[in-house]
């Protein structure tokens, strides 16, 4: 499965410079980073979260976990949970489950980016498949998605749910 046409068309239409990085079939952003020899901080993972009745795209460095408690406080509700595989399949019909790109706006979802990713000049993320990643400048990504920049992470040693479906 190639990078979804939805993603490729938007990047090309906006004349965004990006690079497709082909790699062996891997699962999880950390494994992609290791396979491509990309610094873990530069590798972004996507975790889809349901807040009340709305799904949101969260984007954070591959090595970190999503702070669901922090999201509950930020959104002012206890109704925050990870999306199921079935929900992700429905939300991103042209992507492989677990390989969604951080382009939630293309799929009708708001995008929240961890503050730490703003510091990096380049980001790498799965491109909709388990064998292709995309590398681009963070600010090009931000100009396309207009993400809300917040604190999304907490160190994984705190026992929080790992963003396994990244």
Token representation of residue 133: 């990643």
Average of pLDDT values for 150-159?
62
pTM: 0.86
| pLDDT at residue number 23 | 81
The mean per-residue pLDDT over the stretch 16-40 comes to: 81
| Residue 110 binned pLDDT confidence (cut-offs 50, 70, 90) | very high
CB atoms within 10 A of CB 154: 16
| Residue 118 pLDDT | 86
* The pLDDT value given to residue 128: 87
- The CATH number given to 5-155 is 3.90.960.10
The separation between CA 17 and the C-alpha centre of its own chain, rounded to angstroms, equals 19
- The 10s digit of each residue's pLDDT in 37-76 is 887 777 889 999 999 999 999 999 988 888 899 899 999 9
Give me Rg for the CA atoms of the chain: 14
Kindly report the three-state secondary structure assignment for every residue of the chain.
CCCCHHHHHHHHHCCCCEEEEECCCCCCHHHHHHHHCCCCCCEEEEEEEEECCEEEEEEEECCCEECHHHHHHHHCCCCEEECCHHHHHHHCCCCCCCCCCCCHHHHCCCEEEEHHHHCCCEEEEECCCCCEEEEEEHHHHHHHHCCEEECCEECHHHCCCCCCCC
Whether pLDDT at 164 is above 60: no
Tell me, rounded to whole angstroms, the distance of Cα 87 from its chain centroid.
16
């Amino acid at each position: 499965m190639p990078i979804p046409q939805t993603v490729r068309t938007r990047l090309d239409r906006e004349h965004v410079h990006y690079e497709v990085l082909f790699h062996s079939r891997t699962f999880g952003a950390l494994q992609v980073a290791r396979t491509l020899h990309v610094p873990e901080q530069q590798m972004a993972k996507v975790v889809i979260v349901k807040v009340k009745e709305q799904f949101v795209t969260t984007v954070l460095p591959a090595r970190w976990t999503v702070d669901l408690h922090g999201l509950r406080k930020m959104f002012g509700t206890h109704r925050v949970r990870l999306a199921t595989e079935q929900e992700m399949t429905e939300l991103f019909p042209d992507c492989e489950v677990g390989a969604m790109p951080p382009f939630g706006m293309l799929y009708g979802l708001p995008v929240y980016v961890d503050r730490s990713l703003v510091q990096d000049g380049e980001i790498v993320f799965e491109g909709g498949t388990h064998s292709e990643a995309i590398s681009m400048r963070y600010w090009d990504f931000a100009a396309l998605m207009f993400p809300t920049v917040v604190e999304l992470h907490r160190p994984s040693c705190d026992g929080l749910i790992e963003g396994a479906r990244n």
